[in-house]
Amino acid sequence: MSKKNKLALVAASVTTFISSSAFAQGGAAANEFDAQAMAALGAGIAIGLAVLGAGMGQGKAAAAAVEGISRNPGAAPRIQTPMIIGLALIESLVLFAFLIAFFLQGKVPGG
């Protein structure tokens, strides 16, 4: 193990042990709104990551399909149909993440 890896391991260990005492709580929750606030945070992070991943995935799929069609124009129908199905499945995952985020947001009072 190199000196750089050892230093990174020590830094990660120290950070873990220090932060665990900072986040320690006496009871299950500090107040009744903690779980609801975490649900709202989870909803925001879920939809953000879903959109980010789907955008990148759709971009790569479309780029690969266009490149394949440009190399072999005769294969366009055999490339285009699976690409459209793949894009629809990627979009359905985003809608599923949106639905989960919507349900989580419903757990927040006034949200």
Domain annotation covers residue 47 = yes
User: How many angstroms separate the CA atoms of 13 and 63, rounded?
Assistant: 42
Give the range of the structural domain holding residue 84, as residue numbers without chain letter: 31-106
Digit-coded pLDDT (tens) for 72-93? 999 999 999 999 999 999 999 8
pLDDT of residue 81: 93
Q: How confident is the model at residue 29 (pLDDT cuts 50, 70, 90)?
A: low
User: How many angstroms separate the CA atoms of 44 and 35, rounded?
Assistant: 14
Domain annotation covers residue 39 = yes
Domain annotation covers residue 20 = no
Digit-coded pLDDT (tens) for 45-57? 888 888 899 999 9
Domain annotation covers residue 111 = no
User: How many angstroms separate the CA atoms of 80 and 45, rounded?
Assistant: 32
pLDDT of residue 31: 66
Give percent above pLDDT 90 in the chain.
35
pLDDT of residue 107: 65
Domain annotation covers residue 5 = no
